[in-house]
Amino acid sequence: MNIIHLSAECYPVAKAGGLADVVGSLPKYMRNNDVDAKVVMPKYATEWVQEHEFETIFEGDTPLGEGQFHYKIQREKEDSLGFPLYLVDIPERFDRPGIYIDPYSGHGYWDELERYLSFQLASLDWLHYSEEDPDLLHCHDHHTALVPFIITRCYRYRGMENIPTVLTVHNAEYQGEYDREVYSLLPSFNLSEVGLLDWDGKFNCLAAGIKCCWKITTVSPSYMEELSQNGDLSLLYHAERHKSVGILNGIDTEVWNPKTDPYLEKNYTLKTHRKSKLENKEALCDQFDLNPEYPLISYIGRLAREKGADLLPDLFSHFLGSEQSVNFMLLGTGDRGLHERFRQMNSRFVGFFDAALDYNESLAHLIYAASDFIIMPSRVEPCGLNQMYSMRYGTVPIVRKVGGLKDTVKDIGEEDGYGITFYDFTHHAAADAIQRSLSLYEDSKGMNSVRKTIMRLDFSWKTSANKYLELYRELIND
Ligand code: GLC
């Protein structure tokens, strides 16, 4: 089966969030199942791209609105990711350092639609006019969600209309919404179909993908339900339920393995975790001037509203200002107002709190290993990978019961539970969850048993890769 993933991100080539982790690992685990899975993505000017060698295998010109542009398809020479990687080189659109955000201005790029549309058109041109012959196109999020419309409606791609398409929604908060008129950038199609591109009076890439793809998947079953119950596209999700399924993400257990992880101070296994986790904690605490004798609760991730990061300053300050012995650590970037608040807390709570306002993959690994708890107070969480990384490292998750968090973490109050959960998005509910974590920490026997339980859980791609495989087979044989 020749499966083509089209994505704006792929770890380690270019990463902004969990989308990259999934696209960088699922194809690898699918290949073990006799699937020939490949990834096609834009050629950004990232460090990884600059350090690797590529070979141009195809080039051409294709229309965009009134004009046209030149593109090259380049394959990574070594297949160093464990699957073939193809970069779409479109000079002046992608040879920039930021993926979505211009690092100089802190804002999104002015030509966002042109960027993602030209990426999709160039990829489809190549697939259409070369020998590639895909069996299925797997699109991810709004950046590639126009593909199902384009191949079934635009005359230029006639002949591709019978290729099955899967659209995976990793994050429905971003939809790729523009003024209606932008449809004229697309290659020509029968204008009576223009309504397929529309949602609520706007040109909406995600909505178009949902309407036109063969199958919609979300990255957890609960998120699928939530999407059809609330949110601005809920009616659409509801209407398309017959072709929708939630498949929980897996994690790359080669990259995320405490036994071999090169970023840890001390590697460990289930047997040695007790002593070695402490060594990692001591190393981290030393680096950030924290006290390794106190329980350490950490947050890793984007400082964004959907992640509930705005709850953290008051929540952490509440405990830091109390008599309780606890340390907090934070790693992430995002909302500038939150940066400011965390900076103030850095100087106010020296020795008890540290915020690294940065994107730092290696530090993230050490924090997972060194912390006692990881907190995720998300407003929305399509799947969430951090809770799974943390459990694999024996670090207990404190999570809000939404989306994928609900599907992966069972509260210690329930039978066979192993995490701390709360439901209401309030300071009170989150503080209560932290209080319960501190009590668990006090009970060293209980804590140790929870750690062992979570380290034994299997979050690998095994089960989910099989579900995707079944889905591909069903669509291809249809
Ligand atoms: C997005 C979602 C996150 C999910 C990831 C991978 O980043 O916010 O919940 O785990 O995509 O699917």
> Where does the pLDDT of residue 15 fall: very low under 50, low under 70, confident under 90, or very high at 90 and above?
very high
For 273-456, which CATH superfamily applies?
A: Glycogen Phosphorylase B; (3.40.50.2000)
Q: For tokens 């407003």, name the residue.
A: 379
C-alpha of residue 426 to centroid of ligand 1, in Å:
22
pLDDT at 232 over 80: yes
Residue 57: left if φ>0, alpha if ψ -120 to 50, beta else—which one?
alpha
Which is nearest to 295 in space by CA: 272, 319, 311? 319
Which is nearest to 256 in space by CA: 405, 367, 386, 389? 389
User: DSSP states of 375-437 as a string?
Assistant: EE--S--SS-SHHHHHHHTT-EEEEESSHHHHHH--BTTSTT--BEEE-S-SHHHHHHHHHHH
C-alpha of residue 15 to centroid of ligand 1, in Å:
12
Tell me, what's the pLDDT at 360?
A: 94
pLDDT digits (tens, 9 = 90+) for 292-317: 999 999 999 999 999 999 999 999 99
pLDDT digits (tens, 9 = 90+) for 245-291: 999 999 999 999 999 999 999 999 999 999 999 999 999 999 999 99
pLDDT digits (tens, 9 = 90+) for 57-67: 999 999 999 99
For ligand 1, whether the C-beta of 383 sits within 6 Å is: yes
Which atom of ligand 1 lies closest to the CA of 168?
Answer: 12
For ligand 1, whether the C-beta of 279 sits within 6 Å is: no
For 358-388, give one letter per residue: b (16+ CB within 10 A) or e.
eeeeebbbbbbbbbbbbbbbbbbbbbbbbbb
Please tell me what DSSP assigns to residue 196. G
C-alpha of residue 383 to centroid of ligand 1, in Å:
5
User: Could you give the percent of the chain with pLDDT greater than 70?
Assistant: 100
Tell me, what's the pLDDT at 299?
A: 98
Tell me, what's the pLDDT at 106?
A: 76
Residue 51, number of CB atoms within 10 A of its CB: 7
HSE (side-chain half, CA atoms, 13 Å) at 143: 20
Which is nearest to 117 in space by CA: 185, 59, 163? 185
Mean pLDDT of the chain: 96
Residue 12, preceding peptide bond in cis (omega within 30° of 0): yes
The pick from 5, 249, 378, 388 for probing ligand 1's pocket by mutation, whose C-beta has the most ligand atoms within 8 angstroms, reads 249
Tell me, what's the pLDDT at 153?
A: 98
For ligand 1, whether the C-beta of 171 sits within 6 Å is: yes
Cα(121)–Cα(179) distance, integer angstroms:
20
Q: Do domains 2-250+462-477 and 273-456 have the same CATH topology?
A: yes
Check: CB of residue 319 under 8 Å from CB of residue 326: yes
pLDDT digits (tens, 9 = 90+) for 170-217: 999 999 999 999 999 999 999 999 999 999 999 999 999 999 999 999
User: Could you give the percent of the chain with pLDDT greater than 90?
Assistant: 96
Which value, in Å, is the radius of gyration of the alpha carbons in the chain?
23
Over range 35-52, report the average pLDDT. 96
pLDDT digits (tens, 9 = 90+) for 308-352: 999 999 999 999 999 999 999 999 999 999 999 999 999 999 999
Partners of 212 in the β-ladder: none
CATH: 1.10.10.10, 3.40.50.2000, 3.30.429.10, 3.40.190.10. Which one for 2-250+462-477?
3.40.50.2000
HSE (side-chain half, CA atoms, 13 Å) at 385: 24
| Residue ranges of domains in the chain | 2-250+462-477, 273-456
Which atom of ligand 1 lies closest to the CA of 17?
Answer: 7
* Confidence (pTM): 0.95
* Atom 10 of ligand 1: nearest residue by CA position: 384
Q: Amino acid identity of 135? A: D
Which atom of ligand 1 lies closest to the CA of 173?
Answer: 8
At residue 169, the 3 state secondary structure works out as: strand
Q: Rounded to the nearest 5 degrees, what angle is found at the Cα of 283, between the Cα atoms of 21 and 297?
A: 60
pLDDT at 125 over 90: yes
Check: CB of residue 289 under 8 Å from CB of residue 297: no
Tell me, what's the pLDDT at 31?
A: 83
User: DSSP states of 40-64 as a string?
Assistant: EEE----HHHHHS-EEEEEEEEEEE
> Where does the pLDDT of residue 377 fall: very low under 50, low under 70, confident under 90, or very high at 90 and above?
very high
C-alpha of residue 219 to centroid of ligand 1, in Å:
7
Check: CB of residue 36 under 8 Å from CB of residue 3: yes
For ligand 1, whether the C-beta of 381 sits within 6 Å is: yes
At residue 457, the 3 state secondary structure works out as: coil
